[in-house]
Amino acid sequence: MNLPKLSRKEAGNRLGVGERQVQRYLKVAVQYLSSFSSFIDPVTNQLNGSPLTEKEVSNLEEIQALLRKYKNSKKSKEQIASELSNGKH
């Protein structure tokens, strides 16, 4: 089954943020969720601009919520990693 793909702009509209913020969320997702490894170019090790599925946008919504939740925490990276590893992705 082929899922519809969304551009960064469309994903940003769903998340209520701009394209740059979507990129930031993707960088976090790539760090902690193996399902996002396809968003990294193996040669340049940079984000490759691949479109997103609804499921991936849903994962980015979770990352958005976690980043907001731990915004002022000194251990935000560890807390986000812990919560994402306990989730089902």
Domain boundaries, the chain: 8-86
pLDDT over threshold 90, residue 3: no
Specify the DSSP class assigned to residue 50: -
> What pLDDT, in 10s, does the model give residues 5-54?
999 999 999 999 999 999 999 999 999 999 999 999 999 999 999 999 99
pLDDT over threshold 60, residue 61: yes
Residues 11 and 19: their CA atoms lie apart, in Å, by 8
**CA–CA distances in Å: residue 63 to residues 1, 45, 55:** 26, 21, 13
**pLDDT higher for 2 or 13?**
13
